[in-house]
Structure 1
């Protein structure tokens, strides 16, 4: 089924909501508790709302088709599930889907079939120090504040990345799907391609979905890059809504990729580790 979704390019639920189109979705979603699952032959599962959309989402399912007692209990409690679902109808501002497959979003051993003790989406989460090119940050404490990032322009931070990776950088333009695309990253010695979405101090505040274009469409465009890792960097804090959105787009079940979040303090840590902070501050004054 995942190969089918990959073949026809089925969207994530977030993408369906952002683009307001699509009859199928394939993604990891969160549902609210549904205790009536034990009493009714058919129930509606309400999905957690997505910050960038005004639509509500419900999953309509027949309880007798839930074959596992454990899954039955977990759906009743609510939580995170991997789902492939088909659109049925629009009821006011609520999109109603019928799940074709629903299960737990956990990693499994391909040889034994046993579940690993790690959630599917968490497996793909990388941190700055996981990249060989940024390994020097391990010797530096996380700065207590990101205030210095207010002085560093987005374009200058991109140049700093170029210096660290010994790679040239280009000026931004309106049609780009990412701010910086590189094939010169390594994770545990393995070469990978990374696509960066960078946000400077033009709006020096915690990153929300509103920072990412209309309804967060910059995340959608970032996910279209042919990259192994999707990276979002911001000069300030990054809110949970952005983290969840990036996670969903990166870990699409039929095309899972790694993802990384670099907030203001991590950004400053990178610059300090590579002796580029003062250069970046001075260079930003020229821009």
Structure 2
């Protein structure tokens, strides 16, 4: 199934590795992983949550997702397969919340004999976080069936040339607000009345305060269709300045003073999609209230495109209150 994705150059490279491996009586189980990395770094593949949120998901589509899956007992199923079982299948399932707060079951099965690594016995067991690339084979209002092409632990590399500037941690992408050097010394302890205070602070004031705290002299005016609300090349992380794009969401007179959903970010979350098109190294989402997990998941998916992996930061109403207090705009 992976060969069907690859071009003749990639397939030729794999064939040469296979011939060499036969001569040495050993195989290179990472060969397909390397080719898949090259392929994903060249071609656009939508994350499943984005495809569902935009209504673009269809049968036969190639998608990816990275999240907590519930796995069947793959180790036992591999053993049963080796013992001659011909109908042995392993299974997985997880759930996604899409833009309209709809819960979607994602499930599928695969042949355990096709697994290439002994660590699968441990990693595909119980509830484990994994990356999956697969085809949509069935699609309904409340469920999606996937046929997996690849299941792996994905470790996104930092952008070329900045390897020393990024922590070698599987969660290096998500930046905590307290990690921003300009915010050092700010007390981010949660204040009980933080969200009530943020209800009275307009988005424009938040934008100006963030620009002052970061040291960004240019504060753009709002206009329809903008890629982002604030742009800076001065966001300092781990000893150097980063470019950052911000999408800000204020109370809008109270109508937006509620937990953020994808629907609050334009049709199908297109405000996040427009921000992701920018060349920013860090994608930042700010809101005057709480931010729901599915919104964070979509932002992470957009930042995890293997053609341009980036960092992202979430500033909810509690963080926003601390920042506004530091800027002298909140009690």
Superposition TM-score tier, normalisation by shorter sequence: 0.7 to 0.9
What's the CA shift for 1:142?
4.3
After alignment, is 266-275 or 205-214 more displaced? Answer: 205-214
Relative CO higher for 1 or 2, CA cutoff 8 Å, sep ≥ 6? Answer: 1
User: Residue 285 of structure 1 aligns with which residue?
Assistant: none
2:319 is paired with a residue whose SS is helix
Aligned pair partner of 1:127 in 176, 186, 190 = 176
Going from structure 1 to structure 2, the CA distance change for 1:211 and 1:91 (only over 3 Å counts) comes to closer
- Which digits, 9 at most, give the CA deviation of each residue in 1:174-233, with x for residues without a partner? 212322222121112212111111111132122233322334333233222211111111
User: Residue 232 of structure 2 aligns with which residue?
Assistant: 182
- Determine whether 1:24 maps to 2:59: no
Aligned pair partner of 1:149 in 194, 198, 222 = 198
Alpha carbon RMSD of aligned pairs, Å?
2.9
User: Residue 282 of structure 1 aligns with which residue?
Assistant: none
2:290 is paired with a residue whose SS is coil
- Checking the alignment, whether the CA contact within 8 Å between 2:245 and 2:283 is kept in structure 1 is yes
- Checking the alignment, whether the CA contact within 8 Å between 1:27 and 1:252 is kept in structure 2 is no
**Structure 2 residues not aligned, in runs of 5+:** 1-35, 78-86, 158-166
**Distance between the aligned counterparts of 1:81 and 1:36, measured in 2?**
14
**Distance between the aligned counterparts of 2:308 and 2:131, measured in 1?**
13
- Checking the alignment, whether the CA contact within 8 Å between 1:2 and 1:254 is kept in structure 2 is no
2:269 is paired with a residue whose SS is helix
- Which digits, 9 at most, give the CA deviation of each residue in 1:216-275, with x for residues without a partner? 333233222211111111111222222233223223445321111111121121122233
So what's the TM-score if we normalise by structure 1? 0.80
1:171-250 equivalences under 5 Å are: 171-202=221-252, 203-250=256-303
**Structure 1 residues not aligned, in runs of 5+:** 109-116, 279-287
Counting matched residue pairs gives: 268
After TM superposition, where is structure 1 displaced by more than 6 Å over at least 4 residues in a row? none
Aligned pair partner of 2:94 in 41, 47, 57 = 47
User: Residue 124 of structure 2 aligns with which residue?
Assistant: 75
After alignment, is 61-70 or 18-27 more displaced? Answer: 18-27
- Which digits, 9 at most, give the CA deviation of each residue in 1:5-38, with x for residues without a partner? 2212222222222233362224423323334784
- Checking the alignment, whether the CA contact within 8 Å between 1:47 and 1:58 is kept in structure 2 is yes
1:32 is paired with a residue whose SS is strand
What's the CA shift for 1:128?
1.8
1:169 is paired with a residue whose SS is coil
**Distance between the aligned counterparts of 1:118 and 1:132, measured in 2?**
19
